[in-house]
Every structure is written in structure tokens, then in C-alpha cells.
Amino acid sequence: MKKKNIFLILTLLVSTVTYYSCETEDHFYNGPEMFSFAEGTYAALDVTPNAPADGNKYQITVGSTVITNSDRIVSLSISSESTAIEGTHFAAINKQVTIPAGKCLGTLTISALYENFIDDAAKKLILKLDGDNTLSDSVFTLSMQKSCPYDPSNIMGTYNVVDTRWYQNTDAETSINYEVTISEVPSDPYQLKIANIGSGYGSELIISIDQVESNTRKVTFTDQISGSDPTISIKTGEPFGALTYEQLSKFFGPSKNNYVNVCAEQIVLNILISYQGAGAWEVHSYGTLTLTKK
């Protein structure tokens, strides 16, 4: 085992020094031509929704131990152990890398396809250099994973809401659809204001977005009172006043946490809304509001 490790280290050292001497024209390698991946055997690529024209791409370098006066074609294949699917998670690739005459390095570009990364799981592309004239570092793994950096300007806008709630006064569940608008709170980019929450009545809710880097971030909010409509009555002869908003997780635990999926531009709020009447009474409704950007 120790001899095997020593051989591996020496092989990697020889290949690294060889590529360096090749590029600097300080040649001292006199052995047969060998090929390998020249810049390590593992890399990670964040696949983002708003990448620039040259974004969501990774360039893999294949090297030769010698320089010749003609182009060399190095064939490679995709390992069956790959979880990234060609044509789905990345664009179809040429299975041959050309090392130009007078050079010892050639490149292959992998272009990830963001729209086909449905979940947050990493997809691995494993490439193997074909043939017997390869060094030990002839297998390369590129791990590609959807990544959506938080940017409040991407979250702000108009959302469709599916509001499914149970009402205490009727002991019935109902589902309504409406629109809300989300805007930034100027003093804090991690706070957002949702206007028209609860289907109107001048109501708004301030939510806070967790700052931990993740595609799905926890959303919290303090107890808030907002909105009223004196024309609406939920008890005969008595219009209701303010609406009170509370997190259901206060009563039911983490299973009712709120979150924002930054990639999908979707917010889910598990919320208790209390309608305060003109007298000492109030009616509660609780349920789930799913906000999806239009």
C-alpha cells in the first residue's frame, strides 16, 4: 500500500512538472507521450439562473507530456457512474480533445443547463481518458449544483397567492386566490414588505430572510398588526378592526416554519391571522399561503 501511494505521488509530481516545463519550453522529459487531466481531478461549478454569457461553464484541461509538430486527439468517455446527464444537465460535448501542434495542453468546455436542475442535489459528471497511454490522474469529476444567490431585486415584484385557511367561526376550510406585491424595506435588504397580504384591507406584512447561504432560506416575522376595513363584518352588526399576523411555528413547531425558495421565487408562509372585532371578540384563521412570482 505504501509503495502504491509513493508511486501515485511521484506520478502526479512528474506530470505537474512536465506540463510546467512544456509550457515554459524547459524540456527535460524523455519518456513516451502520456496524457492526463492537467489541473487536478475534481472541480465544482455553481449553476446560477442569471449567469453572464460565459457563465455556467467550466473549462477542463487535458495535457500531454511532450510537444509534437502535429495535433494530437485525445479521446474520452463519460463514466456510467455519472449522475449528470448529457443533454439534460449539460450540453452535449465532443468526446475528443485536441492538443494543438507545438502545445502540450488542450481544453474541453462543459456548459451546464440551469433550467434542467430541478432540485438542489449536486450532479456529478465523471470523465475518463481512453487508451493505455494515460497517467494515474485520468479520471476527472465535475460536481454541478444549482445555486441562487439572494438578491432582493430578484424577489421583489407581483406574486400570485394560493391562500388555504381554516376559519374558527365557521369551522370550515377555504381556499382563495389573489395577488400581492413584494418590495424591499430600504433599511435592510434582508427584510421584505408584502402588501395586500390576507387579500387586502390595507394590510401588509414585514418578513425577514435568513442570511445563511442556501437556495431555500428560512423566513421569520414578528407578531404584527396591520390593515382594517370598516365595511366588512364577520359578526352581525360589528365591523372588524385590525388584523393580527402570527407565525404558526409558535404553536406547532418547526413543521410550520416559513421559507423562501430563492431559485423558484416562491414563498411559503404558515400563518395565523386574527380578525379583531369592534368589541372584545376575535376570530382566528390559520393555514398556508403559497406565493409564486408572476
pLDDT digits (tens, 9 = 90+) for 236-272: 444 455 677 888 888 888 888 999 999 999 999 998 8
Of 12-21, 80-89, 94-103, 176-185, the one with minimum mean pLDDT is 12-21
pTM over 0.95: no
Whole-number percent of the chain with pLDDT over 90: 54
Residue from 158, 200, 162 nearest 183 by CA: 158
Longest dimension (CA), the chain: 99
Please, how many CA atoms are within 13 Å of residue 103, restricted to the half-sphere of its CB? 14
Q: What is the pLDDT of residue 231?
A: 45
Beta-carbon count within 10 A of 102 CB: 10
Residue with cell 421565487: 265
As a whole number, mean pLDDT of residues 112-141 equals: 93
Three-class secondary structure of residue 250 per DSSP = helix
Q: Does domain 2-146 have CATH number 3.40.50.300?
A: no
pLDDT at res. 1 = 40
**Assigned CATH topology for domain 152-293:** Lipocalin (2.40.128)
Q: Over pLDDT 70: what percentage of the chain?
A: 80
* pLDDT of residue 4 exceeding 60: no
Mean pLDDT of all residues belonging to the chain: 83
Alpha carbon separation from 151 to 49, 148, 256, 265, 270 (Å, rounded): 12, 9, 25, 11, 23
Query: How many C-beta neighbours within 10 Å does residue 224 have?
Result: 17
Q: What is the mean pLDDT of residues 150-161?
A: 93
Other CB atoms within 10 A of residue 251 CB: 11
Give the tens place of pLDDT for each residue, 165-217: 887 767 778 888 989 999 999 989 999 999 988 765 567 889 999 999 899 99
* Domains of the chain by residue range: 2-146, 152-293
Phi/psi region, residue 40 (left: phi>0; alpha: psi -120 to 50; beta: rest), is: left
Residues 129 and 15: beta-carbon distance below 8 Å: no
